[in-house]
Amino acid sequence: MFRASISALKPPAAPPPTTQPPPGTRSPHLLRSTPLHSLILSRISHSPRASRSHARVLGLFQPLTATMSSSENPTVTERGSKDRRDDKNEDGDKKEGGGGFIEKVKDFIHDIGEKIEEAVGFGKPSADVSGIHIPHISLHRADLVVDVLIKNPNPVPIPLVDIDYLIDSDGRKLVSGLIPDAGTIHAHGEETVKIPVSLVFDDIKSTYKDIQPGSIIPYLVRVVLLVDVPIIGRIKIPLEKDGEIPVPYKPDVDVEKIKFHHFSFEETTATLHIKLENKNDFDLGLNMLEYEMWLGDDSIASAELTQSAKIEKQGITRMQIPFSFRPKDFGSAVWDMIRGRGTGYTIKGKIDVDTPFGNMKLPISKEGGTTRIKKDDDDDDDDN
C-alpha cells in the first residue's frame, strides 16, 4: 500500500517531444504533396532552366503552405450559447469581407502566372511583314503574296489561330479577308506565313470612280495575327506595310501604213508600220509582239516577233514588221486596196512587257482602220 501511494504521487510521464519546424518555414513533406505544386512541376519540368527556376517557383507557395501547415492540428472548442447567438453577426461579417478575399486570391493567382512566366521563359512572339510580291498582274487583276515572318521564343509550339487582313488605298477599302487555323509555329523557331490576296481591277474601278486606268495607286496592308501562347493566353499582333500598285491600261496600236516593196498576184512583199502608244504612268519594256492582221475579212499576215524596245510612260514607239502574202488567194478587200480605194483593216494580238511591278502580257487591238497601197517611190510622210 505504501509503494502504491508513492507511485500515485509521481507526476505523469511527459509526452515524447515533437519536432516543430522553426518559425517561418514550411513542412517539406506537405509542400511536396501539394497538388498545385505537382501541377507547376509538371509544367516547368521540360524547361531548360528548370533547375534554376525550381526554387523561385516554390517560393510562390510559402504563404499558402505555411497556412496549410498550421491547419494540420486544428483546435476543437465547444461553442456556448453566446457563440450560437453571434452566428448571424459572424455570417454577415463573412459576406462583407468576401469581396476582399476573392480579390486577394485573384492577385495571388496573377502573381503566380507572372512568376511562372518569368521562371519558365514564356514570352510573346514577334512578327514582321518581310515582303510583298506580285507573282501575276494583268489588265483584270493582280495577285499579291504578303510574307509575314513570325518568331516563337517559347519552349513549346504555339498555334496561329487566325489571320485577319485588310488592304486599303488612302482610306478606300480594296480587299479584306480572314484565314482561320493558319498553322503552328515551332518551339524556339520561326516561320514565314504567306497570305495570298487578289485585287480585281474592274471591281475597284467600278467602286471608286477616281481610280483611273493606267494610274499608280498607294496601298496599305494591315494584318492582325491571333496567337495562343501558354500561360499568357491569346494575344493579337498588329502589322502594317505600305507600297504601290498599278491599275494597268492596254496600249493603243495603230497601222500607220503598209509599204509594198514587190507586188504580184503570186507573192507580194510589204512592210507593216505600226504605232504603239503607252497610256500608263509607268514604262513598258517590250520583249515580244504577237499579232494577226486582216484586210476586210481576209487574214493577210500573222507573226510572233521577239524585239526589245522601251515604251516610255505616256509615250509612243513605232515598229516596222515585214510580211508577205498572195493577193490571188484573197477577196475584194485586197483588190480595193490595189485600186487605191482603201480598205478596212483589223489588227489584234498581245505584247509581253516588263514593268516596275513585274512582267505583264497586255492585249493590243485595232478595228475599223483604213489603208491603201503605198509604193516605195511614194512620199514617206504619207501615213496612209
Whether residue 227 is predicted with pLDDT greater than 90 in this model: the reply is yes
CA distance 182 to 77: 62
Domains of the chain and any CATH numbers: 121-247 (2.60.40.1820), 252-375 (2.60.40.1820)
Are the CB atoms for 146 and 242 separated by under 8 Å? no
Whether residue 382 is predicted with pLDDT greater than 70 in this model: the reply is no
CA distance 366 to 293: 9
| Sign of the torsion angle spanned by Cα atoms 278, 279, 284, 288 | negative
Look over the chain and give the mean of its residue pLDDT values, rounded to a whole number.
75
Overall average pLDDT of the 147-151 stretch: 95
N- to C-terminal Cα separation, the chain: 156
Output the CA–CA distances (angstroms, integers) from residue 15 to 11, 18, 70, in the order listed.
12, 9, 21
How many H helices and E strands in the chain?
A: 9, 15
Whether residue 116 is predicted with pLDDT greater than 90 in this model: the reply is no
Out of 50-54, 184-188, 220-224, give the one with best mean pLDDT: 220-224
φ, ψ of residue 370 to 5 degrees: the values are: -125, 150
Are the CB atoms for 225 and 239 separated by under 8 Å? yes
CA distance 200 to 176: 12
253: region left, alpha or beta (phi > 0 left; psi from -120 to 50 alpha): beta
> The C-alpha cell of 321 is what?
514588221
65 or 296, higher pLDDT: 296
Whether residue 112 is predicted with pLDDT greater than 70 in this model: the reply is no
Overall average pLDDT of the 333-356 stretch: 79
Claim: this prediction has a pTM higher than 0.95: no
* Predicted local distance difference test score (pLDDT) of residue 28: 42
Whether residue 96 is predicted with pLDDT greater than 90 in this model: the reply is no
Whether residue 109 is predicted with pLDDT greater than 50 in this model: the reply is yes
φ, ψ of residue 6 to 5 degrees: the values are: -65, -45
Grid cell 493582280 in the structure block, residue: 142
Confidence band, pLDDT 50/70/90 cuts, at residue 107: confident
* Predicted local distance difference test score (pLDDT) of residue 308: 85
> What secondary structure letter does DSSP report for 122?
-
Overall average pLDDT of the 113-119 stretch: 56
φ, ψ of residue 272 to 5 degrees: the values are: -95, 120
> What secondary structure letter does DSSP report for 156?
S
Overall average pLDDT of the 211-218 stretch: 94
* Predicted local distance difference test score (pLDDT) of residue 215: 95
Confidence band, pLDDT 50/70/90 cuts, at residue 104: confident
Largest CA distance in the chain: 165
In which element (H, E) is residue 60 found? none
Are the CB atoms for 175 and 167 separated by under 8 Å? yes
53: region left, alpha or beta (phi > 0 left; psi from -120 to 50 alpha): alpha
What one-character-per-residue DSSP string does 256-268 give?
EEEEEEE--SS-E
Mean pLDDT is lowest, of 78-82, 108-112, 200-204, for 78-82
* Predicted local distance difference test score (pLDDT) of residue 305: 84
Confidence band, pLDDT 50/70/90 cuts, at residue 338: low
Are the CB atoms for 163 and 138 separated by under 8 Å? no
Whether residue 254 is predicted with pLDDT greater than 90 in this model: the reply is no
CA distance 300 to 292: 8
Mean pLDDT is lowest, of 167-176, 273-282, 292-301, 344-353, for 292-301
CA distance 34 to 326: 101
Output the CA–CA distances (angstroms, integers) from residue 223 to 145, 164, 179, 238, 240, in the order listed.
13, 6, 11, 6, 6
For the segment 262-293, what is each residue's pLDDT rounded down to a tens digit?
877 788 888 888 899 999 999 999 999 999 98
Confidence band, pLDDT 50/70/90 cuts, at residue 61: very low
Grid cell 505584247 in the structure block, residue: 351
Confidence band, pLDDT 50/70/90 cuts, at residue 351: very high
Kindly provide the b/e burial profile for residues 20-51, where b requires at least 16 CB atoms within 10 angstroms of the residue's own CB. eeeeeebeeeebeeeeebeebeebbeebeebe
* Predicted local distance difference test score (pLDDT) of residue 261: 85
CA distance 199 to 210: 17
Grid cell 475597284 in the structure block, residue: 204
143: region left, alpha or beta (phi > 0 left; psi from -120 to 50 alpha): beta
Residues β-bridged to residue 259: 271, 374
Whether residue 324 is predicted with pLDDT greater than 70 in this model: the reply is yes
Question: Rg of the chain over CA atoms, in angstroms?
Answer: 43
